[in-house]
Structure 1
Amino acid sequence: MQRDELTYKIIGCAMKVHNTLGNGFQEVIYQRCLAIELAKLDIKFVREEEHTIFYEGINVGSRRADFIVEGKVSVELKAIINLEDVHLAQAKNYTVAYDFPIGLLINFGSQSLQYKLIFNPKYNIKLN
């Protein structure tokens, strides 16, 4: 598979937001700004889309993804000083539970934008 153009566009939008605002705002401010940047590029997305979580086929609740982009990438945003393993685990769980091949964890709270690509092991994705 060629490098994933969509995730690079999402990261580029996040970088523009971070370069413009810097760190220190609440997550919702970054979420609104990222939505503006994605819309400028005509990238289709849904904010705060609720997804049902199943355990052995039984509905055990629901969670909301910060963004679902083009129906194929889940994006989880943070505005904290440093990403920790628990945040990566949360984003991975969402990517797998929502059955998306790729997820992104983006943190606006540090001095430099932090992001992690997350791959659903169910899909055999290889980026060049």
Structure 2
Amino acid sequence: MNTDLLHKTITERIIGAAFEVHSFLGNGFQEVIYQRALAYELAQRNLDFAREIEQDIYYRDLAEPIGTRRADFVVEGKVLVEIKAVKELEDVHLAQALNYLKAYRLEVGLLIDFGSKILTFKRLVLSLSQHLRNL
């Protein structure tokens, strides 16, 4: 399957929900406010999601995790959603979202920023088979 289209319907519905939140709230709130509003909108669209699932982070062949991370949402068990409320997305935000994709072993993610006057987002696709070969 073409990875550009992987989970396209789900990501379109999430982006629509994000636009609804940004249209109503605008920019200027803390991330948690957008997170709660997005949870409402995802539920309105009958999307199954989990919020802030704690994920163990492993290093090399260590049996014990070296820490944990929490992504904002995992939608339909397939799409990771990381939200920000910053003026402009930076490389560090992109790196964080890609690391979460690896940790959660998901291929598709959305990095959504509510912090500017215009909602911005990036759709991320990570080839799991390529990542697993690099472990």
TM-score, normalised on structure 1?
A: 0.92
Identify which of 103, 111, 116 aligns with 1:105: 111
Task: Report Cα offsets for 1:65-114 as digits up to 9, x if no partner.
Answer: 10011111111110000000110110011011210010110000011001
- Whether 2:46 is the aligned partner of 1:42: answer yes
Larger displacement relative to structure 2 (54-63 or 29-38): 54-63
2:126 & 2:18 partners in 1: Cα distance?
A: 22
Map of 2:73 onto structure 1: 67
The reply to whether residue 20 of structure 1 matches residue 24 of structure 2 is yes
What is the root-mean-square deviation in Å for CA atoms of aligned residues?
A: 1.4
Aligned residues of 1:101 and 1:123 also touching (Cα < 8 A): no
User: What letter corresponds to residue 78 of structure 2 in structure 1?
Assistant: K
The 3 A distance-change label for structure 1 pair 57 and 72 is farther
Which 4+ residue blocks in structure 1 deviate beyond 4 angstroms? none
Which has the larger helix fraction?
A: 2
Gaps of 5+ in 1: none
Judging by fraction of residues, say which structure has more strand: 1
Percent identity of the aligned residues? 55
Question: Which residue of 112, 117, 121 corresponds with 1:115?
Answer: 121
Q: Distance in 2 between matches of 1:38 and 1:26?
A: 19
Q: Distance in 2 between matches of 1:24 and 1:33?
A: 14
TM-score (norm 2): 0.87
Contact 2:86–2:116 (CA<8 Å) still a contact in 1? yes
Q: Distance in 2 between matches of 1:122 and 1:64?
A: 19
Pair member with larger Rg? 2
User: Would you say how many aligned residue pairs link Structure 1 and Structure 2?
Assistant: 124
Which residue of structure 1 aligns with residue 133 of structure 2?
none
How far, CA to CA, are the matches of 2:77 and 2:129 in structure 1? 15
Q: Which residue of 1 aligns with 2:56?
A: 52
Cα distance, 1:60 vs structure 2? 1.0
Deviation at 1:123, TM superposition (A): 5.0
Contact 1:73/1:102, CA 8 A, preserved across alignment: yes
